[in-house]
């Protein structure tokens, strides 16, 4: 685990995965189908993680492809707005398009519509990942969406190899989205391979259960992955909190209850808060709780990237909240 922690403490992350545009109905409480106006901002799981890390004082660079159009340029500009490094973005002409998510800020019959037809982020090539200066970073992060199609699947596994050669640990957010994959069987096989090649794995009970062939087998799958020395596995269970598995120990933590206005963005913010906490030298339990607090903050506000807390906002939340639920 020391090499994993040493990498994270450098507080400098190279992140693989998608950027996108989020459009969320305004004002909060408005159903998307009745909205007359929408707010726009950065979206996409990996881009959200990048923004969350930067807002918590870390350095992040996103490696992805974006469309060579106004929406692609919008995403590049918003990444730069949050302090995310964009030197590894490649703009592609043609018909491939960046992702668009349309949603609302109300938990009642929450609707999220994602447009990912001919997604441009699947066009990341081996040349794209080879031009990254891995030695300039402390750790690699990827979300599972990159593995759903070629060439980004093979390219990201190549990035894993490049990272290992440079001595970087690999951090994997399972982030299973069924609509992106050709079949559940392919997804289970590829995501399991990614897990085997990673040093820190974060996922929810459904994702681990999916990889194991049944939700009732998810925790056993997490324990199996955590049996490798030096690996950390975090098994999230929604409102029931999380189980962190490392070095033969199981650390159970609760959540910070809030009034949610939407469910999305929580996992991305959790990852940012977790890694920022570890980079500060906090112990694993404390870092997981900071990730949980970040997740609660994001679901209580509209949008994803704009809702990610700064360090100051996180500290204010922790100081004013009665604390995590008991486990």
- Write the pLDDT tens digit of every residue in 96-106: 999 999 999 99
Q: What is the pLDDT of residue 150?
A: 97
Q: What is the pLDDT of residue 1?
A: 65
Is pLDDT at 250 greater than 70 in this prediction?
Answer: yes
Question: What band does 268 get if pLDDT is binned at 50, 70 and 90?
Answer: very high
DSSP 283: -
Domains of the chain: 2-320 (3.40.1190.20)
Is pLDDT at 167 greater than 80 in this prediction?
Answer: yes
Is pLDDT at 185 greater than 70 in this prediction?
Answer: yes
Q: What is the pLDDT of residue 227?
A: 96
Question: What band does 15 get if pLDDT is binned at 50, 70 and 90?
Answer: very high
Question: What band does 324 get if pLDDT is binned at 50, 70 and 90?
Answer: very high
CB 302 within 8 A of CB 262: yes
H-helix segments, the chain: 2-9, 45-55, 70-81, 126-130, 152-165, 184-196, 205-212, 218-226, 266-279, 284-299, 311-320
Q: What share of the chain is helix, strand, coil (3-state, %, to 5)?
A: 45, 20, 35
Distance (Å) of CA 37 to CA 73, 98, 257: 21, 21, 30
Is pLDDT at 289 greater than 90 in this prediction?
Answer: yes
Question: What band does 231 get if pLDDT is binned at 50, 70 and 90?
Answer: very high
Q: What is the mean pLDDT of residues 157-181?
A: 96
Half-sphere exposure for 31 (CA within 13 Å, toward CB): 6
Share of the chain above pLDDT 70, in %: 99
Q: What is the pLDDT of residues 47-57, one digit of tens each?
A: 999 999 999 99
What is the reported pTM? 0.98
Is pLDDT at 2 greater than 90 in this prediction?
Answer: no
Q: What is the pLDDT of residue 237?
A: 96
């Amino acid at each position: 685990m020391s090499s994993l922690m040493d990498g994270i403490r450098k507080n400098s992350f190279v992140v693989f995965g998608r950027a996108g545009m989020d459009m969320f109905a305004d004002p909060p409480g408005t159903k998307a189908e009745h909205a007359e106006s929408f707010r726009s901002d950065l979206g996409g799981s990996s881009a959200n993680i990048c923004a969350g890390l930067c807002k918590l004082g870390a350095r992040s660079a996103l490696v992805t492809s974006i469309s060579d159009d106004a929406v692609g340029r919008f995403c590049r500009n918003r990444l730069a707005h949050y302090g995310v490094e964009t030197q590894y973005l490649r703009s592609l002409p043609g018909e491939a398009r960046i992702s668009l998510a349309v949603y609302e800020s109300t938990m009642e019959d929450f609707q999220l519509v994602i447009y990912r037809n001919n997604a441009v982020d699947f066009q990341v090539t081996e040349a794209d990942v080879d031009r990254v200066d891995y030695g300039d970073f402390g750790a690699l992060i990827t979300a599972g969406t990159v593995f759903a199609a070629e060439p980004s699947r093979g390219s990201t596994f190549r990035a894993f190899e490049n990272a290992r050669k440079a001595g970087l640990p690999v951090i994997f957010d399972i982030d299973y989205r069924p609509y992106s994959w050709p079949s559940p069987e392919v997804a289970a096989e590829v995501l399991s391979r990614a897990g085997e090649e990673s040093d820190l794995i974060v996922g929810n009970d459904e994702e681990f259960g999916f990889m194991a062939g049944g939700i009732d087998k998810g925790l056993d799958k997490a324990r199996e992955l955590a049996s490798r020395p030096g690996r950390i596995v975090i098994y999230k269970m929604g409102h029931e909190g999380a189980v962190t598995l490392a070095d033969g120990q199981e650390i159970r933590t609760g959540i910070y209850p809030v009034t949610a206005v939407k469910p999305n963005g929580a996992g991305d913010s959790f990852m940012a808060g977790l890694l920022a906490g570890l980079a500060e030298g906090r112990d694993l339990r404390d870092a997981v709780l900071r990730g949980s607090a970040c997740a609660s903050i994001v679901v209580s506000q509209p949008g994803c990237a704009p809702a990610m807390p700064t360090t100051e906002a996180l500290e204010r939340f922790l100081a004013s909240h009665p604390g995590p639920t008991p486990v």
